[in-house]
Amino acid sequence: MSAVKVSGKNKLYGNIKIQGCKNAVLPIIAASLLNGGENIIHNCPYLADVIASIKILEELGASAVFDGNTLVIDSSGISCRRVEPALMKSLRSSVVFLGPVLSRCGKAAVSMPGGCDIGKRPIDIHLTSFERMGVDVECAGDEVTCAVNKLHGERIVLPFPSVGATENIMLLAALGRGVTTIHNAAREPEIVDLQNFLNSMGARVFGAGTGNITIYAVDKLTDSEYTVMTDRIEAATFACAVAAAGGELYMEGIKPGYIRTVTNILKNSGAAVAEYPDSVYVGAPSQISCPQLVSTGPYPGFPTDAQSLLMSVMSCSKGSGVIRENIFENRFGHAQELRRLGADIIIDGRSAYVRGAALTGGQVTARDLRSGAALVVAALAAEGETTVEKAVYIDRGYDDLVGKLGSLGASIERVN
């Protein structure tokens, strides 16, 4: 079992280059099945979830080669074989393979997707949208079987701006015939990145970044070369790390607008924030104040993925505040672990009441990807030594978090 060991109370100073975006590249990898050709994807982060996605591609008969941060995918020989359920269950984002596999193969069977255990995470919005577009859907146990009956363009109004469902509809509608419109679509920057990638293959997708997306289906897609956007949640992680541990940090390669909901909260809590066209500076005050209320919401709201990170900052701040989690019903597992480090947190349904405290080192366990990162952030601010167990969760979304924090002056190491 792998763990991260941190000796807290070292301030962080320096520059960090933000990695390519996990939540953008996973649907882009799935989209690479659509053109039946070569896709050169630059700025691809080397992550466990990316490796799992590559394994799914390989099971389907495509090939993928990593060269530095460039991933070259050849989907010309896909075989439409059924993917091992255990592999599909290993990551939540495997659900975005449904759209492309249906599009290329006419049928797809998946087990209910796995991934980090942060609530029920159903896929009913994906499936009812597919049905409206002419797909027959059958569910038996945790198996979902989809078969294209007569694929056609459709007007789809989402009951919630689901990121995954918006992506899956775009992926299914890109090839074939007809015009599909998505209303109340997710507006996350990662949706814009998927649109840009699809259009780099010759697709005709418009409106991503707004609540209304239009997809004009085309007959064929071409080879593509694309550079993935940078990871706003990795940037939020480093911003929170500095806010909690102290110090000064320049984050390079991140558009300030992507993380403004996070940096604005840090700024209002006493941090210095400066925005440049492609980088962001964060300077910590001697002790950060506790924001009074943070509510997660669909973009441009506060990202659910940064909720645990901000909880760590609040745990070692001065004052008290409330976090309201509006996206997932069960995303406070890290609170129990933070309490082991001395955090004062009370959970009541979807609300977490946090009072700033002096944290001390201890042994804690990651429950999911972002809770693991949040525990590392808290450990950086805690007096003494902390061990974060189940560090494999962190590997799902961070390309060398330990090495990067070490380069900024943290006393941190990976141990077995």
Interface with ligand UD1 (CB under 6 A): 23, 92, 119-126, 160, 162-165, 188, 298, 303-305, 327-328
Give the nearer residue to ligand UD1 in terms of CB position, either 200 or 304: 304
What are the backbone angles phi and psi of residue 140, rounded to the nearest 5°?
Answer: -135, 115
**Contact (Cβ atoms closer than 8 angstroms) between residue 273 and residue 262:** no
SS3 98: helix
Give the nearer residue to ligand UD1 in terms of CB position, either 18 or 412: 18
Beta carbon of residue 362, minimum distance to ligand UD1 (angstroms, whole number):
26
Q: Which residues of 260-282 are buried (b: 16+ CB within 10 A; e: fewer)?
A: bbbbebbeebbbebeeeeebbbb
**Contact (Cβ atoms closer than 8 angstroms) between residue 167 and residue 127:** no
Burial of 1 (0-12, 13-18, 19+ CB in 10 A): exposed
Beta carbon of residue 328, minimum distance to ligand UD1 (angstroms, whole number):
5
Give the nearer residue to ligand UD1 in terms of CB position, either 14 or 122: 122
Angstrom distance (rounded) from CA 180 to CA 358: 54
Burial of 292 (0-12, 13-18, 19+ CB in 10 A): exposed
Beta carbon of residue 297, minimum distance to ligand UD1 (angstroms, whole number):
7
Tokens standing for residue 304: 């659910």
Tokens standing for residue 254: 């991140």
Give the nearer residue to ligand UD1 in terms of CB position, either 123 or 388: 123
Q: Is the peptide bond before 300 cis (omega within 30 degrees of 0)?
A: yes
**Contact (Cβ atoms closer than 8 angstroms) between residue 78 and residue 36:** yes
Q: Which of 21, 44, 116, 290 is catalytic?
A: 116
Residue 116 among the catalytic residues: yes
Helix (H) or strand (E) holding 273: strand 272-276
Give the nearer residue to ligand UD1 in terms of CB position, either 165 or 378: 165
Beta carbon of residue 380, minimum distance to ligand UD1 (angstroms, whole number):
22
Angstrom distance (rounded) from CA 412 to CA 392: 16
Give the nearer residue to ligand UD1 in terms of CB position, either 187 or 341: 187
Beta carbon of residue 397, minimum distance to ligand UD1 (angstroms, whole number):
9
Rounded alpha-carbon distances, angstroms, from residue 126 to 80, 158, 353: 20, 9, 34
Beta carbon of residue 416, minimum distance to ligand UD1 (angstroms, whole number):
27
Active-site residues, by number, are: 116
